[in-house]
Amino acid sequence: MVNEALTFRRYQDGDQEPEPWDEQQIVSGESGKCPTYVHRAPPCQGSCPSGHDIRGWLSITRGIDKPVKEGQAWQQYAFERMCEANPFPSVMGRVCPAPCQDGCNRNEVEEQVGINAVEQYVGDWGLENNMTFDAPKKETGKKVAIVGGGPAGLAAAFFLRRMGHACTIFEEYHELGGMMVFGIPGYRTPRDVLEGEVKRIIDMGVEVKLNTRVGTDVSVEQLEKDFDSIFWGIGAQSGSALPIPGAEAPNCVSGVLFLRAFNEGKLQHLTGRVLVVGAGDTAMDVAAVARRIGHIEHSHENDHPEMVILGHTVHDVTSAARRQGADVWVVYRRPISNAPATKHELDSVIAEGAEIHDSLAPVEVILDDKGRAKALRVVPVDWEDGKMTVREGEEYDIECGLIVGATGQAGDFTGFEDFANEWGLMDADASYQSTVKEGHFVGGDVIKPHLLTTAIGHARIACESIDRRFKGEDLKKRPKVEGHLFSLLNELRIHDHDPAPCEEIEVRGTDTADFAVHNYEDRSFAEIIPHENLFLGHFPYSPMHRRQESKITSKDVLSNFNERFTGLEEQDAIDEAERCMSCGMCFECDSCVIYCPQDAIFKVKKDQRVMGRYVDTDYNKCVGCYICRDVCPSGYIQMGLGE
């Protein structure tokens, strides 16, 4: 029996409609068009908030794009390409939910490329081999204040130092890292990994002022006097637990505070049932941590979880010996199928023993005679066409010992209240400049709580805007496709194949002059290539090379703080990169050379060849038959020349 899901046909039975006349002009196997090579951005890059050149470093991993420096390991070359967009490959390879994989065109064949697994391998190699970032060769003399030392602030420091700008991070806590340290559990981001990736950014010459809060210890006005620009990356780590009556109870806390207390080593166990309200990734982390740290049946009043979470006391580590499995419920207002959490994290939390109770809207926190929450009153709701209908009269109470709200976050604007919008966040324009004040730029959760990689992408764009502002350039123009896009000119340059200087003469039409890159067009800044443009029939079935994952169940989750994933070995990383279809860029498959009936397409000489410049066309032989376009797996060939 044929598996139709793995069968590709460019034309289907019954197709009668010709392609648009301006795209298909073949008569008796010939046309007036010849192939041109059009570079478009792949959907993985278009889906990546930090703008990774994913296709680029996968091409390095699989050995197509080889290191320029003699004796350089391919891993170092791939590491350098990765870090152009994101200086945290080891962390991101572990915790990023990989929206790039959701957009991967390989899903049309069988399943996506394991991009985050390859990223983790290269990132870990970088740490093991002490990869560092070079300090800038030239200082610009400009200084930027970075408020907040989380992922956005650290990324901003990295990008600014690469541009040659001096920068100082002002961090109100005793440690850098923000949500990477205090929000994500340590078993997902091993501390030695995070510390290594933070250290090489600071070693670029970044000044750091810890335990220094802007708005309290130093004023915004003082920063404006001392620095040429300011980047705000303060995160969104405050806000009420739940917007319902009774939520002021001490044992009704926010998910951010809960995770901070755990990651600082203060929270060792819980008491009573834990209700996690919400179903985003923060809620999943809270539920997973609660299942791991467990429950103690009888505890002193000072050991109640909220006493630790609110900073009044610290659990005695020895008390953890008495803990047992915690009763953890996730309460969500919508159907759990609509949860914003990553499916993998949701499935893991369920496997680890947390109960899911969906389509329940919190109504009120019920208090005991001491003012502590003893129950959460909820009401069942129905959803139809995105609208919620409350089932009046069916309210009931869920008994609990702790309620953790993970439904919303806000920033702490004490001392600079004018920058806050009505939601307790900051507004920015397309260049990530504050809409409140010129010269102030913004990035990360304080714009809108989202992914770590989103914060890094914000920082990159903001830093580009800061640099352009220093140079007196227009900030308004941004490309349609953001990111560190592949540049053929740069590829030619690093391989010492720069085009020759252009003579000061007017030239219209040439296929020989060496000051031009012939029959090549770069549209990556404006177009993302869809799977319809690829010849999927070229790609055989090839399952993903998955990282080994420890399957944690409800029976062994207690005190299990082991890292969940085991990274790929080198050959597995290479084999996984081989599955990349190199959408929108030649990957040297030779199909166009093999199938050209006129022998018009030929390989570029080895001493002139670079990534994206593997084949060329002899237009004296080409008859415009379209065969090369039809067999090109990556959609790199378009018929256009000759019009």
pLDDT at 550: 85
Question: How many Å apart are CA 467 and CA 45, to the nearest integer?
Answer: 23
Tell me the residue length of the chain: 643
pLDDT at 318 over 50: no
Task: Outline where DSSP puts E strands in 301-395.
Answer: 328-331, 355-357, 360-367, 373-384, 387-390
Mean of pLDDT values over 307-320 = 60
Mean of pLDDT values over 501-507 = 67
* Domain range summary for the chain, segments of one domain joined by +: 143-238+411-470, 252-405
Entry pTM? 0.90
pLDDT at 87 over 90: yes
Q: Which of 625, 519, 556, 632 is nearest to 348 (CA)?
A: 556
How far are the Cα atoms of 19, 188, 250, 559 from residue 305, in angstroms, in the given order? 66, 22, 9, 17
Burial class of 487 by CB neighbour count within 10 A (0 to 12, 13 to 18, 19+): middle
pLDDT at 640: 82
| CATH number at 143-238+411-470 | 3.50.50.60
Mean of pLDDT values over 68-95 = 95
DSSP-assigned letter for residue 203? T
pLDDT tens profile 118-165? 999 999 999 999 999 999 999 999 999 999 999 999 999 999 999 999
**Structure tokens belonging to residue 327:** 């009763």
**Of the ranges 20-34, 144-158, 167-181, 226-240, which one carries the lowest mean pLDDT score?**
20-34
Question: How many Å apart are CA 268 and CA 312, to the nearest integer?
Answer: 14
Question: How many Å apart are CA 446 and CA 28, to the nearest integer?
Answer: 61
The correct answer on CATH 3.30.70.141 for the domain covering 252-405 is no
How far are the Cα atoms of 37, 289, 454, 485 from residue 498, in angstroms, in the given order? 18, 54, 34, 18
Contact indicator for 436, 427 with CB cutoff of 8 Å: yes
> Which position has the higher pLDDT, 514 or 65?
65
Give 318's contacts (C-beta < 8 A, 6+ positions apart): none
Per CATH, 143-238+411-470 and 252-405 having the same topology is answered yes
Contact indicator for 228, 168 with CB cutoff of 8 Å: no
